[in-house]
Amino acid sequence: MTDTTLKALRRDGAGKSVVRKMRQAGQTPAVVYGGDEAPVHLALDTQEADYLFRRISVENTIVDLEVEGEKGSVQTLVREIQTHPWKANILHVDFLRIQKGVAVDVEIPINLVGTPEGVRVEGGSLEQIIHEIPIRCIPSKIPEVIEVDVSGMEVGDVLHVSDVSFDEDIEVTISQERTICSVAAPKAEEEVVEEEADEEEGAAEGETAPDAEADDSEG
């Protein structure tokens, strides 16, 4: 579980004019909410925030917010980062306040390890269907990544969520039958199979049923 620190300032007021002035001053608006406390509006240093969020796994990193003028820090998880549609700069950040020992919902990235035998030997292709697995657990048990060894997979093999082992303290909140990845046959092989199926279908359609032949002869 990764833990990092980010400094913040309390901010008063909201609205487009306030936010515009903040951005001109090199600040990014943010809010922290959750738990028994009221939401708190914050201002982050834009450069610090941008640098931090580019180098961490946002989905499962605990961010300790150090708010100027307040004792201690606030432990949070990033819930949403709003970015500009084409400039990619951060517009707003939502933080979820977390409490020690209280379970939270997070999505953990999947890292497929190794090259499948079906790719290396048979020329197939590895197709990853989902890239994160949603789980529920206490903050201290949140894994940084879920590593899955796929080196033994052959063409036609399918890896499901149920095939992955998790710590007993972790509850997986997605169907165990969901497909994580599969190894598909080489393209040329797929095309040959399809052509053979088409030929068989055409041959079957070209055959005349015995009953139909009898009807024709009687006529």
Same domain, 95 and 109: no
Say if 215 falls within a structural domain: no
Say if 112 falls within a structural domain: yes
Mean pLDDT, residues 199-208 = 58
Structure tokens given for 9? 């300032």
Q: What is the domain-level CATH number for residue 75? A: 2.40.240.10
| Residue 6 predicted with pLDDT over 90 | yes
Structure tokens given for 5? 């620190």
Same domain, 84 and 119: no
- Neighbouring residues of 190: CB distance < 8 A, sequence distance ≥ 6: 184
| Confidence band, pLDDT 50/70/90 cuts, at residue 69 | confident
Instruction: Please give the order of strands across the beta sheet that includes 125-128.
Output: 125-128, 179-184, 158-160
Comparison of pLDDT for 214 and 173, the residue scoring more: 173
- Neighbouring residues of 141: CB distance < 8 A, sequence distance ≥ 6: 1, 167, 169, 170
Same domain, 75 and 42: yes
What is the per-residue pLDDT across 128-159, written as a single tens digit (0 to 9) for each? 999 999 999 999 899 989 999 999 999 999 99
Say if 207 falls within a structural domain: no
For 30, the domain range is 3-99
Q: What is the domain-level CATH number for residue 140? A: 2.170.120.20
Give the residue from 74, 99, 124 where a domain finishes. 99
What is the pLDDT at residue 192? 55
DSSP 102: -
Same domain, 92 and 13: yes
Say if 213 falls within a structural domain: no
| Residue 126 predicted with pLDDT over 90 | yes
Q: How many domains does the chain have?
A: 2
d(CA 35, CA 93): 18
8 Å CB contact between 52 and 90:
no
What is the pLDDT at residue 60? 80
Task: Share the mean pLDDT of the chain.
Answer: 86
| Residue 218 predicted with pLDDT over 70 | no
Give the residue from 99, 117, 139 where a domain finishes. 99
| Confidence band, pLDDT 50/70/90 cuts, at residue 8 | very high
**Size of the chain, expressed as the number of residues it contains:** 219
H or E element at residue 8: strand 3-10
Predicted TM-score (pTM) above 0.75: no
